[in-house]
Chain A
Amino acid sequence: MLHAADSQDRLNDFVIKLANVNGTGSASANTLLMKSIFRMGIPVVGKNYFPSNIQGLPTWYEVRVSRDGYVARSGRVDIMVAMNAETYAKDVKEVSPGGYLIYDSTWPRPALLKRDDITILGAPFARMCNETFQGVRSRILLKNIMYAGFLGALLDIDVEVMKAMLGESYAAKKSLLDSNVKALEIGYNYAREHFQCPLPLRVARMDKTSNHIMIDGNTAAALGCMYAGATVGAWYPITPSTSLMDAFKSFCQKWRVDPTSGERNFVIVQCEDELAAIGAVIGAMWNGARAFTPTSGPGISLMNEFIGLAYYAEVPAVIFDIQRVGPSTGMPTRTQQCDLMLAAYASHGDTRHVLLFPSSPEECFYMSVQAFDLAERLQTPVFVMSDLDIGMNDWMCPALQWDNNYVPDRGKVLTKAEIEKLDKFHRYLDKDDDAIPYRTLPGVHPKGAYFTRGSGHTQYGGYTEDATEYQIVLDRLRRKFENAKALVPQAVFTGRESHDIGIVSLGSCDGAVREALDILKRRGAHLDYMRVRSFPFGQDVEEFLASHRVLFVVEQNRDAQFKSLLTLETKVEKAKLRSILHYSGLPISSSVIVDGVLAELGESLSPQRTAIR
C-alpha cells in the first residue's frame, strides 16, 4: 500500500488503463472519464489501443493524468479497470506495484487475488445493471457508465462535472440521459459505500487546462483543410486515416452547405482505390481547386506512380499519411513512423518530396493549411506525415487560433489578363530565377493552354527526347527542391546550451522526448533538443547537427529511416548519430529514450567533457 507521502506525490499524476471488449460502447465512458478530469483543470491525455476488428476483441484505453502536462505514454499502470474476462490474466500482471485493479465482482475471480502487491476492488457492475435496466444492449452500454461513476468516486472526480458532460451528450434524448445519470450514480454510490473514497491516487482541481481543447489529429487536420479552403477531397477508406475525411465531411456539412438550396460548396469523392484518389486530387488541383487525400502507408505504396507524375509535371497535391505499422498490412491499428523513406522519395526516377512532420493535433491544424500553401507555391505534392497516435488519440492542446487576415497562397497562377498580355506562354520556363515556373488553369484563355505530360518535356512545355532539353527541366526541379528549404517550417529547438549532446526527433516522439529531457536533467544530464518539422532539411538543421558532438536520433521505426534521411540529405557525420528506435506499435514512452541515452552516455562520456554532472 502507498504511504501518505506517496499519495501526495501521486495527486493528479497517475495512469488509468481500461481493458474492454471492442464494440461494447466503452469509448463514451472512457471519454467521459477523461474529459471530466480535463474540465477540472488537470492535464490529461487518452490513448486508445484497439484491434483491427469490428466487435468482440480486446481493446484498451489509457488515461494519463499528468499535473506536469506530459503527453506521452508513461509505460506505467496505476489503476487497471479489468472489464474483459479474456484479458484478465494479462491485465492483472500489468498493474504497477502499489496499484489498483478494479473488476466486475458479479463473477468472483479468486485467481485474480494472486497478487499481494496491488489492491483489488470489486463491484458487481453486471448484476447492478441487470437489476436496474432493461434490454441487453443498454445493459452492456450502461455498465461502462457505471464503472466511470465508480472511478469518479474513487478518484474524487467532481460528479457534477460528469453529469454535465452526460447532459451535453444526451441533450436531445432525455430518456437516455436519465438512464446514463442513473448508472453513473449507482457506480459512484457503490464505491462510496464499500470503499474508502477517495484513494490516495486522486485528482484535485487545477487551472492548467483553460483555453485548451482535447482533440485528435485527424479532426484537427480536417479542420485545417476546411480553413485552407479545400473544396475537393478524394479518398479510399483506410485505417487510421478514415476519421480525417469523416471529420472533413461533417465540418463541411455544417459550414459549407447553402441552408436554403442545400447546395454544397465542396465535393467529396469516395474512390475505388488510392490510385484513383490521388488521381482525382491531381486532376482537381491541376484544374485550380484545393484538393487533398488522407491515407496511410499501403495507400502511399499504391499512389507512387501518380506522385511521380505530379512531381515531374509540377501539379500541386496534398497528401495526409496517417502512418500505421508496416510492412504490408502490418498492424493497421497500431502506430509507427515507418513511411518516412517511402514518402520522401515516392515514385520511380529521381523524385523528392516536401514532407511536414506535425507533432500534435495542434500542428496538424496549422500544417494542413501550410501544406496547401506550399503545394501551390512549389507546384508539387506535399505530404503531411501524421501517425495513428496523433491522428486517432485525444490530445490536450492549446485552443486553435485563426487569423482572419489569412489569404491562401495560390502560387504563380496567371490570370486571364496576364495571359492576354503574353506573346506566348511557356509552362516550365524559369522566368523569375526562383526555379518555379508559371501555371495556367483550363478554361481561362486559349493562349494559356498547354499540354501537361509525364513524358520528357522541354522548358517550353513541348515533348522532348533531347538530352539537354530534358536536363534543363530536371535540374530546375532540383533547384526548386533546394529553394523549398527556405519555405518549409523550421525546426524547433530547446536547450541549445551544451553544444555537446543533442537529441534529434520528429512528429509524435515529441512528448516522450520532452519528458525524457526533464528526467535526464534531474539525473544531471543536460541535452539539447531539435525537433525537425519538415523535409527538405534547412540550414537550421544543418547547424544543429554540425554543432553537436553526439546526437541521439529518436524515431518510431525499426530501420532508422529518419537517421538515414539525415545522413543522405545533410552533411552530418554518420558516426555522430546514435539511434534510439521504438517500433512495438504502441506510442513511444519517455523511458525508451532515457534508457537509450543513459546506456550510451554511461560508457562513452569522458568526465571532462561530459554534460552529465
Chain B
Amino acid sequence: MSFINKPKVAHPSLPRNELGLTRRDYEGGMSTLCAGCGHDSVTAAIIEAVWQMSMRPEQLVKLSGIGCSSKTTAYFVSGGHGFNSVHGRMPSIATGAVAANRDLYYIGVSGDGDTLSIGFGQFAHAIRRNLNMLYIIENNGVYGLTKGQFSASADIGTKAKKGEENQQPPVDPVLAALTLGGTFIARSFSGDKEQLVPLIVAGMKHKGFAIIDVLSPCVTFNDHEGSTKSYEFVRDHYDEVVHADFVAPAQEITTQYAAGETMPVTMHDGSRILLRKLDPAYDPTDRAAAYSYLRAKLAQGEHVTGLIYIDEAGPDFHDVNKTTATPVNQLPYEKLTPGAKGLEKILSRYR
C-alpha cells in the first residue's frame, strides 16, 4: 500500500485554491495498490489538477470499469460520486450519465485490458460520440489482478515476468483514437507529473472526448528487464513532442516561449492551453500528419508523448443531439408531458 491513512486535518500553511480548499480536500480513500504503482502517481496528478481547477468536489463524476486502474477512482475526490461498473463497459455508463446531466465534469479511469480488450468496442464508440469527458488509460501492458498475463497493449518482443515473449502486435490507443476521430488525444507517463497535470486540466476543459494514454508501469508484474513498459524502458524511450500548459481564463500568459514554437488553443470556457512544440515541425491540429509522425517514431522504438492532437471545434455528443442547455435530469416534469389535452390530440390519429 502506498498511502498511510492520514487524518483529514489541514495545516494552516497548506496552500488553498479559489474555493479555499487544500489538496487534502480532493483526496479519496486509501489506495490498496502495490507500493510504487504508477497508478498512484496518476491519482496524485488528478488530485493536483482538480485542486488547481478549483472544482467543487461534487462537480466531479468518477467512472471506471474493472481492474487495478479502475479501483483508483475510489482514491481521489471522495466528495464526488463514483461508479465502478463492469469490465470494459464504463463508456456506456458515461454515455448515460453525460446524457442525463451535461453540467458536471466526467472523468473515466480505465486500464489497457479494460479499454483495449474487453472494452475496445465501447471505447471506440465513446470516441465516435465525442462524449464530453476525460478518459484516462493507465497503461501498463499487463493484467495485474489476474497476475501478469499480457494485455492488448503489450509490444511485440516484450517479456513477461516469467520470461515468455509476446508475439502479437499491440493495440495503440493513441493511433486508434486518431483514426476514430478523437478530438483530444494525448500520451503521458505516470512518472512525469509536470507534463501530466496540465494535460488532465486541459482534457477536463476540452469540449468532447479527451483521452490521455498514461504509461503507468506495473511494479509487480511488468517492471523487469526485457519489458517495454518498465519505468526504466519508458524513461529511456520517451519523446515529448508537444507540451501543454493550461491557462485559466483570467490568468495572464507569463511564460515566454520562443516564437513559432508555441500555439495557444482556446477552450470552450474561454480558457487557453499553450502548446509548446518541442519539435517545431509538428502540428497537433493535423490528424494525418500526427498519425505519420507517431508511426515513424514508433518504428524507432520511441513513445511520443504530450498533446498529440486537438480539435476544439468539433460538435460534441450534446451538440449532435441538440440537447437543451438545462441538464435533462433537472427539467421539470411539466415540460416533459403533453398532459390529458395533448393525449387527446395525439390519439386522434389512432381513431
Contacts and interface: CB of A to CB of B under 8 A. Distances in A.
Interface residues of B, number: 60
Nearest to B325: A263
Nearest to A251: B346
Contacts of A281: 96
A54 to B, nearest CB: 26
A263 B324 contact: yes
A449 B61 CA distance: 9
Nearest to A234: B96
Interface stretch (A103-111, A440-448, A531-539): A440-448
B173 interface: no
A227 interface: yes
A255 B342 contact: yes
Contact of B61 (A264, A443, A450): A443
A453 B90 CA distance: 12
A283 B322 contact: no
B83 A234 contact: no
Interface string A550-588: 000000000000000000000000000000000000000
Contacts of A607: none
B161 interface: no
Interface string A251-285: 10001101001111111110111011111111111
Given A279-B89, A283-B95, A463-B74, 18 more contacts: A226-B336, A226-B338, A264-B322, A265-B336, A267-B100, A269-B95, A275-B122, A276-B125, A279-B93, A280-B92, A282-B85, A286-B97, A287-B329, A305-B86, A448-B58, A449-B79, A452-B82, A454-B84
Nearest to A264: B322
Contact of A443 (B93, B101, B322): B101
Contacts of B92: 234, 271, 275-280, 283
Given A288-B329, A452-B83, A454-B86, A401 B340 contact: yes
Contacts of A402: 337, 339-340, 343
A446 B346 contact: no
B96 A286 contact: yes
B96 A443 contact: no
A267 B338 contact: no
A232 interface: yes
Contacts of A39: 351
A407 B336 CA distance: 12
A452 B61 CA distance: 11
B78 interface: yes
Contacts of B89: 275-276, 279, 305-306
Q: Which 5 A-B pairs have the closest CB atoms?
A: A279-B92, A283-B96, A446-B79, A284-B96, A289-B100
15 contacts: A215-B347, A229-B333, A234-B99, A255-B338, A258-B324, A269-B95, A276-B92, A279-B95, A279-B96, A283-B83, A285-B100, A289-B99, A443-B58, A446-B57, A446-B79
A282 B124 CA distance: 20
Interface in A214-236: 214-215, 219, 223, 226-227, 229-232, 234
Interface in A462-503: 463
B251 interface: no
Given A280-B92, A451-B84, A407 B333 contact: yes
Given A263-B322, A309-B86, A446-B56, A232 B96 contact: yes
Contacts of A251: 346
Contacts of B94: 283
B35 interface: no
Given A255-B338, A283-B96, A407-B333, A268 B321 contact: yes
B330 to A, nearest CB: 8
Interface string B80-112: 111111100101111111111101100000000
A199 interface: no
Nearest to B99: A267
A213 B345 CA distance: 12
A451 B83 CA distance: 6
